[in-house]
Structure 1
Amino acid sequence: MAVLNKDNNGYLTPEEFNLFAKQAQLEIFEEYFYNYNNLLNKQNKRLTNTGYADLPRQLVEVIDTFTQFKALTLSTGSEQTFELPADWYTITYVNFKQTCGAVVTSNEAERISEGQINRLLSSNLTSPSKQYPAYVFSQQGLGVTEGPGTGTYGNLGNQITLYPAQAATCTLGCDLTYVRYPKDPKWTYNVVSGSPIFNQSATDYQDFELPFSDQVEMTLKILQYAGVNIREPEVVQFASGAEAINNQSES
């Protein structure tokens, strides 16, 4: 943080840097999805190009580096409610998989709101089937019981419940494709003569996960947080102005 100390403002502690780095990385990561939406709008207006200038494709490639595939585990006491991974940001695909002996039925499950599922389950014509399965985020507030565990309150947002419930003598599985949050960066160090010295070999060291193209914006955002922390408006103004120029050049 040599820029921060340019006018003898002082240096950040490693703990402060890690906190600001985490927030800066998360802010840029979430901007990817807003930027992608804006780029698609431009694409629909034929304001984007192909090849190296295909910005929507390039942004998708960045987001895809955070795509994960995971076989979910059942919640304790339930036959159809599964625990979501702690690092999920958005779900892109839920696969309903029912195994009955040697017969395996596998289909994509449709996302249904908790306000709709009771109405769908009330009729055989609209109730989810193994050919057209569905899921809700947890079973919280659901009054209709279809399998053990679905009548209890779950942790809303950290579980999904598949429909239909598993048939007798069958087992139910769920494969998830999702975009995860980036891992929290951590600048690890050893204290030598009272000063922290970078130690990349530490077991808990974690580098930034965003591409090099975001390094400038990352640095500017960390400077903004640092300027607010030390109550130095000049640092905040410098970082905000530089970020505005950087964003304008990319628009």
Structure 2
Amino acid sequence: MAISVNTVYQRVLGVLNKEQRGYVTAQEFNLFANQAQQDLFEQYFYDINQFGRVPGNSTEYSDMVTLLNEKINIFETIDAPTRVGNYFIAPSNLYRLGSIVYKNTTTNSFGVASTEQIEAERINANEFLYINSSPLTKPTNTRPVFISNTSGIKVYANSEVTDVALVDYQYIKKPATVNWAYQIVFNEPLYDASNSVDFELHPADEADLVIKILELAGILIKDLNLYQVMNQEEQETIQQEKA
């Protein structure tokens, strides 16, 4: 479902060449590509708040909330944390936390073990003092809680959980860093697919990526006209999606 980094780069170069607006090197493209991907990625969350306030269209495929959720779902993932000192530390590619899951394993009377994944409730440190003081509210293996601060998180079930194998982060990850890799052949950069990294955005965003990168390229080559044209096209695309 990824968008080919080579396809986007060639389209960017094609427009610049056709309009005789200059050239963007691979290094410059990679810089712009990652900025464009990040901008569009963050726009998902802004837009879903905007579109979520109005009713969807009768046709599911034209419902922007559905499409935005589909785009965001690409980045939903589950991963185990690491343990540093007394805290669980989030995966390095975490963008937005969804939930903390505790894996509760029990054994029935026949000796068969089963594991249930239970979402831990988030509480603050002050609440924990009160919750933990009462047998009716204190955390258990079936009612886990977690506390988060700048050092990481702590998870409590029947007791404090310290085994990383018992905890999962469900979260939205950051997009991978895009890279148009190349080898120099006859003094020219030749695309190296094996070392390149594609865009992780939804295929529907390919045109927006090209426009956004051209907009950034317009700034680089100091072509105000190109920047204004690309910015206008981007705004028109956004308005069409919101119509």
Q: What TM-score results when the alignment is normalised by the length of structure 2?
A: 0.78
Q: Which residue, out of 176, 189, 199, partners 1:183?
A: 176
Cross-structure match for 1:145: none
Q: How many percent of aligned residue pairs carry the same amino acid?
A: 33
Structure 1 position 58, deviation (Å): 2.6
What is the rounded CA distance, in whole Å, between the counterparts of 2:127 and 2:218 in structure 1?
A: 48
Structure 1 segments (4+ residues) deviating >3 Å:
5-9, 98-106, 113-131, 164-168
Cross-structure match for 2:73: 64
Structure 1 position 77, deviation (Å): 3.9
Q: Is the 1:166–1:172 contact (alpha carbons within 8 Å) kept by the matching residues of 2?
A: no
In the alignment, is residue 97 of structure 1 matched against residue 103 of structure 2? yes
Q: What TM-score results when the alignment is normalised by the length of structure 1?
A: 0.76
In the alignment, is residue 86 of structure 1 matched against residue 95 of structure 2? no
Cross-structure match for 2:142: 131
Cross-structure match for 2:207: 216
Letter in 2 for 1:231: K
Q: Is the 1:98–1:166 contact (alpha carbons within 8 Å) kept by the matching residues of 2?
A: no
Letter in 1 for 2:27: E
Consecutive unaligned residues in structure 1, runs of 5 or more: 141-153
What is the rounded CA distance, in whole Å, between the counterparts of 2:90 and 2:173 in structure 1?
A: 11
What is the rounded CA distance, in whole Å, between the counterparts of 1:115 and 1:9 in structure 2?
A: 60
In the alignment, is residue 19 of structure 1 matched against residue 35 of structure 2? no
What is the rounded CA distance, in whole Å, between the counterparts of 1:182 and 1:220 in structure 2?
A: 19
Query: For residues 76 and 99 of structure 1, do their structure 2 counterparts lie closer, same or farther at Cα, with a shift above 3 Å needed?
Result: farther
Structure 1 position 165, deviation (Å): 6.9
Cross-structure match for 1:55: 64
What is the rounded CA distance, in whole Å, between the counterparts of 2:203 and 2:117 in structure 1?
A: 39
Query: For residues 216 and 240 of structure 1, do their structure 2 counterparts lie closer, same or farther at Cα, with a shift above 3 Å needed?
Result: same
CA RMSD in angstroms, aligned pairs only? 2.9
Q: Which residue, out of 7, 22, 36, partners 1:10?
A: 22
In the alignment, is residue 227 of structure 1 matched against residue 218 of structure 2? yes
In the alignment, is residue 195 of structure 1 matched against residue 188 of structure 2? yes
What is the rounded CA distance, in whole Å, between the counterparts of 2:208 and 2:173 in structure 1?
A: 21
1:157-186 alpha-carbon deviations (Å, 9 max, x no partner): xx3221247369x99721222111121111
Structure 1 position 199, deviation (Å): 1.9
Q: Number of matched residues?
A: 224
In the alignment, is residue 112 of structure 1 matched against residue 118 of structure 2? no
Higher relative contact order (CA 8 A, sep 6+): 2
Cross-structure match for 2:6: none
What is the rounded CA distance, in whole Å, between the counterparts of 1:115 and 1:18 in structure 2?
A: 46
What is the rounded CA distance, in whole Å, between the counterparts of 1:127 and 1:97 in structure 2?
A: 18
What is the rounded CA distance, in whole Å, between the counterparts of 1:211 and 1:99 in structure 2?
A: 37
Cross-structure match for 1:39: 51
Structure 1 position 62, deviation (Å): 2.1
Secondary structure class of the residue paired with 2:54? helix
What is the rounded CA distance, in whole Å, between the counterparts of 2:207 and 2:117 in structure 1?
A: 45
Query: For residues 130 and 186 of structure 1, do their structure 2 counterparts lie closer, same or farther at Cα, with a shift above 3 Å needed?
Result: same
Q: Which has the higher helix share?
A: 2
